[in-house]
Amino acid sequence: MDIRDGFLSAIGETPLIRLPWPSARTGCAIYGKAEFLNPGGSVKDRAALALIRDGEARGLLKPGGTIVEGTAGNTGIGLTLVGNALGYKTVIVMPETQSEEKKDALRLCGADLRLVPAKPFKDPGNYVHVSRRLAEETGGFWANQFDNTANREGHRRTTGPEILRQTGGRLDAFTCAAGTGGTLAGVALALKAADPGIRTVLADPHGSGLYAWITEGEPRADGSSITEGIGQGRVTANLDGAPIDDAVRIADADALDVLFHLVRHDGLVLGGSSGINVAAAMRVAESLGPGHTVVTVLCDQGARYQSKIYNPAFLREKGLPVPPWMEAGAA
Catalytic residues: 44
Q: What is the DSSP letter of 73?
A: S
In the complex, minimum distance from the CB of residue 200 to ligand PMP, in angstroms, rounded to a whole number: 13
Decide: is 230 part of the binding site for ligand PMP (CB under 6 A): yes
Decide: is 268 part of the binding site for ligand PMP (CB under 6 A): no
User: Reduced to 3 states, what is the DSSP secondary structure of residue 65?
Assistant: coil
What's the CA dihedral at 34, 246, 126, 75 to 10 degrees? 20
Q: Which of residues 66-105 bind ligand PMP (CB under 6 A)?
A: 72, 74
In the complex, minimum distance from the CB of residue 155 to ligand PMP, in angstroms, rounded to a whole number: 7
Q: How many whole angstroms separate alpha carbon 210 and alpha carbon 224?
A: 13
Part of the chain binding ligand PMP (CB under 6 A), chosen from 16-24, 38-46, 91-99, 127-135: 38-46
Q: Which of residues 105-144 bind ligand PMP (CB under 6 A)?
A: none
- Residue among 254 and 288 whose Cβ is closer to ligand PMP: 254
Residue from 99, 273, 293, 301 in contact with ligand PMP (CB under 6 A): 273
Taken as a whole, the chain contains a residue count of 331
What's the CA dihedral at 253, 259, 260, 264 to 10 degrees? 160
- Residue among 272 and 292 whose Cβ is closer to ligand PMP: 272
* Residue 251: CA count within 13 A, CB half-sphere: 7
Residue 254 in contact with residue 279, Cβ under 8 Å?
Answer: yes
Q: Which of residues 164-193 bind ligand PMP (CB under 6 A)?
A: 177-184
Q: How many whole angstroms separate alpha carbon 225 and alpha carbon 164?
A: 31
Q: How many whole angstroms separate alpha carbon 54 and alpha carbon 36?
A: 23
In the complex, minimum distance from the CB of residue 24 to ligand PMP, in angstroms, rounded to a whole number: 25
In the complex, minimum distance from the CB of residue 241 to ligand PMP, in angstroms, rounded to a whole number: 15
What's the CA dihedral at 142, 144, 149, 150 to 10 degrees? 50
- Residue among 135 and 202 whose Cβ is closer to ligand PMP: 202
Decide: is 271 part of the binding site for ligand PMP (CB under 6 A): yes
Residue from 69, 153, 204, 300 in contact with ligand PMP (CB under 6 A): 300
Q: Considering all CA atoms of the chain, what is the largest pairwise distance in Å, rounded to the nearest integer?
A: 56
Residues that bind ligand PMP (CB under 6 A): 42-44, 72, 74, 177-184, 229-230, 271, 273, 299-300
